[in-house]
Chain A
Amino acid sequence: MIKTVDGAINLYVETVTGMPQVVINYNRDAMAQYGLNVSDINRVVNTAFAGQSTGLVYEGEKRFDMVVRLANDERRNLSDVRGLLIPTRQGIQIPLEQVASVEEIEGPNQVQREDTRRRIIVGFNVAGRDVQTIVTELQQKVAAQLKLPPAYHVVYGGAFENLTAAKQRLSIVVPIALFMIFMLLYFAFNSVKQGLLIYTAIPLSAIGGILALWVRDMPFSISAGVGFIALFGVAVLNGILLVSEFNRLKKEGWQDVRRVVLHGTKTKLRAVLMTALVPSLGFIPMAVSNGAGAEVQKPLATVVIGGLIISTMLTLFVLPVFYILFEKGFKFFKPVKVAAAAVLLLALPAALQAQQKVTADEAVALALKNNLHIQAAKLGEQYYQSLRKSNLDFDKTNVGVEYGKINSVANDNRFTISQGIQFPTVYKHQRSINNTNITLSKLSTQQQENELKAQVKAAFYAVLVLQQKEQLLLEADSIYQAFLDKTALRFKTGDVDALEKATAENQRWQISNQLGLLKTDYAVRLNDLKILLNVADPVTPVGSDPVYHLSEIPDTGYIARTPAMALRQQLLERSIQEHKLEKSRLLPSLNLGYNNMSIIGYQRVGNDEKYFGGGDRFSSVSAGIGIPIFSIGQRSRIRAANIFIQQQERELAATRQQLELELGNAAKIYTHHLQLLGNYQSVLLSNATLVIAGANKRMAAGEIGYLEWVMLINQALEMRSNYFNVVEELNNAAFTMEKLSGLN
């Protein structure tokens, strides 16, 4: 497995067995035969091959062992071992193989233990990649492919062990140090805000350090970690310099935060650059050195240099900005136009949202989605859906225990369990009622939607009409304004009298009043639309034609399709079902039970008297039905249900009548207004324009006086205004028809 991991070299698998050995196994029977002891033979073997020291030989001060062993050529191979002569008690000497078996086998070579357990080592060196990634990859492979029995497990050690231990420790200690720095900052500046502000220097400097490591293609080592620690210290220092300068200026009385920042950075620029550059440059020799030991210092130096450079940049630019933000809040930036533009740019999506234009269909879709009533109605549907299974309303299960003198003088105990249910048709009818309820809720939602659609369209088109009206009024306003200007001029020159001027002014003010009213109306309608649509920002209806085109004029046959009618129908249906339900309640109910008791005492079984104790159980089952004998209440309910059915039938008819009436009326209005509209569009509107143009011409030519002019203009304007009224009524009629006929 290790062979397959990139970067693992010099693989070494510890060999614990497989060492060739000569093993002498004693044959105890043979030994007994010769009367030999193991120790005797051992001694001979030892002395012959290993050699035993019998003392020392002194050469002056030097000492050397005096060792007895077999001559060299007598202890060369296996046959020499086998043929080793052992003295016996009898005085003869026998070869070793007669009392032992001498074999060459492969045996254990070395045994390593750790913490009193045996272990084996598989080791490798790393090159080209860093330790961490290699070990992780290996761990994954091992977990997937190598299955070890219970008492065996694998542990990863070596230099890698230290890395994890150190990382763990650092991950606890570094946050503590960071926290201490923060406390210190807080005490120095007595402000959490400013403490946090300076604190931001730390992550900013970390960015630089990491980038520097990456650029130099160095992995993260403990060395680099120490470098980060040093880096944070200096980065914070820069922050302190700037912020204390800012505070000092503020204490001296400077008010404008921007000026404080600008001046403070100017005065402290040199100090900041020095505190950053001096350490960085001082580390350069370390970062580029190639001498012995440089590999340990390079990461440290790289991190500090890269980190300091980046952090100084960021301190000089980002910190002042943060300072301003912290001090003033976001409001500060409004007056600056460019900033406002920037803010707008960022807020553009939101702004677009605000100016959102919708078409009629879009408006309807939005309304159907968002309107609260619709949402409520939909919840109503869910309510009835959840109640679907409520028909399965069984009685509670009865469990009972009896103890005492039930059967005889002995104290018996009895357990009972019973369950009652209604006659099955009850549940069936209940279920159909539930289903009907669901249908009812759906229809109710539809009706709401219907209603809503009509309302939305009404509001929508009202707005469109108002837009057109506004145009009209603006036009009128300009006409009258021109007139007023001219009159005022002429009044000054004395050509006209005060009456004319007064009239002009009055007219003008009237128009502007109307304009004002219209604007109010417009806002109200927009608001209505917004509420109906239930959106956060107001929407602007957009449409080309304020006239709503109805696809067809529904006749009364369409009534049946309206949700209102369908609703009534279902109500009727439900009343019938309820009647059936009540009737079915008169059917009997069922009851099933199971008893288990003891009968302590003697009983005759066959021919014997047998004793039954408390442990002997006797069980029985019971069944019963409930007959509604006293059913007066239920019968009255049945009668009431019947009457309810009839009521619903009447209601249904009434609703149909009303709907037909409304539809008929709306249709009449619509047809009439449509005709009228045709008139306007073909003749009257163009006439009005002609009148205005003609009146102006004549006025300019002096052929008519101002009174006539005013009269003519007013007439024309009124006609045009009326047109819009007609349009509005037409639209409303159309919507009503659509609603009533279920066409929308």
Chain B
Amino acid sequence: MWRDALLVAAKDLRIEMRSRVVANQVLPFAGLTLVLFAFALDADPTVLHATGGGLFWVAVLFATVLAVQRSVGVESSNGEAGEGLRMAGIDPAGIFLGKSAAIGAQLIALEAVLTIAVAILYHLRIQGVAILAAAAILGTAGLAAAGTIYGALSASSRVRETLLPLLFLPVVAPVLLSAARAWQLALAGHPGPGAAWLRFLGMFAVVYMVTGTLAYESIMEDG
């Protein structure tokens, strides 16, 4: 399983290095979202300070939808989603873990750049770095795992591009809530209470990792 996961993750990351879809399209989209939020909120520094963490995670959520769609898209040809991977004989749990790891790695890189963008655009002082980093890692693990599951569920649908956000966004609302709260507390200089939100993010990630590892075969075969 782990060997297969490594193989799939390395393949997906190599495809991203070549195509640069996340770097050249998803990242600018997420950055643009942050700019538009600032316009919508009239660039009021007080409001932006108070909502910066939440806006950051909304942008990450939108970027996750695109990253998952890309991950599903590279496995689909002529509407036969995932047939090549199925025929390759790879352990489905390995496919799930590998795809989740690749999406997670891309999102972490994207979040690092967006953090700098948030600090510049919203004039936020980055503090409570340990809580910020922990929330980013745990939140990203949950988003990547849930995204991989719902990406596979929607893959065989002819309307997968529109179906995925409809299935995925409500499910990950708890990640948005917890990660945004943890970030708001850390950025406001009160990182202590953020630990409770980290536990919730960790639980969410573990539940979806375990669910995906156990259920991915049925999702791929019967989805």
A and B co-occur in one complex: no
